[in-house]
Amino acid sequence: MERNDIKTVIRNEIVNCLLELQGFLVVGNWKMNKTKQEVKSFLNDIASYDFGEKNTIVIVPPNPYLYLFEEKLRYSKVLYGVQNIYPKGNGAFTGELSLEMANDFGCKYAIIGHSERRTIFSECNVFISKKVRACVQNQIKPILCIGENLEERKNDNYKQLLINQIKEGLSRIDVSELSKVVIAYEPIWAIGTGETATPDQVEETHIFIRKFLTDEYGSDVGNDIPLLYGGSVNPTNVKKLALAQSVSGFLIGGASLNAQTFKEINNILNGN
């Protein structure tokens, strides 16, 4: 074997060992995709698959399919959640889903303030903060999504924007409740575009966010909040992204729709 080949083998071994040590939170966001039949076949496929012990796996389907998840996964290690909630109990809110309902189906997570909700459905930070609080009060972990668009990125003011999204998003909960929250950094220009942020860009932004969290809420709390990356994550780029400092896991859209691809990502994060 050539010297360079040996170096590559050793480097890969070290990387795999590092991945084997770290537990990741891996969340699949299906958005508005899949038929009932496709959901059934995905669930059958993953039911027999061993995701291992160290990663936390969460799948977030469209609401009509939650009953299938409850049937298949209620007592499994694979968790599931909702893509959005309305921050009130039951009542006259046509078209909305309450936390009581999400709880009833055994959901453990809710994606809150995804950029598609912010841009297409005009959700603002105040509304988002109410949803975060409602989740925390109802034992559902909110995954608070933050991220800048391309213009904001180019103007270089995106870091202040991220801080505002975090500060306002978390403004209605107490510091003691922050351990129940997950933050997902998803640059809008990398969502569904195939254009991933580079590991360096992800690392730089995650370190910046982590520093803000520890400065603002104290080092114990700030270091404890899982910080996910999302935006065109796939089996080809996930290993390098996983090695970026302060990345605790991933919010995965397109690549979570296919059971095989989703399992492959998990295998890579297990160091296999």
Unique residue bearing structure tokens 């997902």: 184
Q: Which residue is nearest to ligand PGA (CB)?
A: 253
Span from 34-42, 159-167, 240-248, 249-257 in contact with ligand PGA (CB under 6 A): 249-257
Kindly state whether residue 192 participates in binding ligand PGA, applying the rule CB under 6 A. Answer: yes
Instruction: Quote the least distance from Cβ 184 to ligand PGA, whole Å.
Output: 7
Sole binder of ligand PGA in the list 231, 242, 246, 248 (CB under 6 A): 231
Sole binder of ligand PGA in the list 26, 29, 129, 226 (CB under 6 A): 29
Size of the site for ligand PGA (CB under 6 A): 13
Kindly state whether residue 251 participates in binding ligand PGA, applying the rule CB under 6 A. Answer: yes
Instruction: Quote the least distance from Cβ 265 to ligand PGA, whole Å.
Output: 11
CA-atom Rg of the chain in angstroms: 19
Residue 96 falls in the annotated catalytic set: no
According to CB under 6 A, which residues from 92 to 121 bind ligand PGA?
none
Q: Which of 114, 152, 203, 206 is catalytic?
A: 114
Kindly state whether residue 252 participates in binding ligand PGA, applying the rule CB under 6 A. Answer: yes
CB atoms within 10 A of CB 126: 11
Sole binder of ligand PGA in the list 170, 181, 209, 233 (CB under 6 A): 233
Instruction: Quote the least distance from Cβ 188 to ligand PGA, whole Å.
Output: 9
- The residue among 226 and 254 lying less far from ligand PGA, judged by its C-beta, is 254
Span from 43-51, 63-71, 163-171, 247-255 in contact with ligand PGA (CB under 6 A): 247-255
Give me the phi and psi of 139, to 5 degrees please. Answer: 60, 35
* Site residues, ligand PGA (CB under 6 A): 29, 186, 191-192, 230-233, 251-255
Known catalytic residues?
114, 186
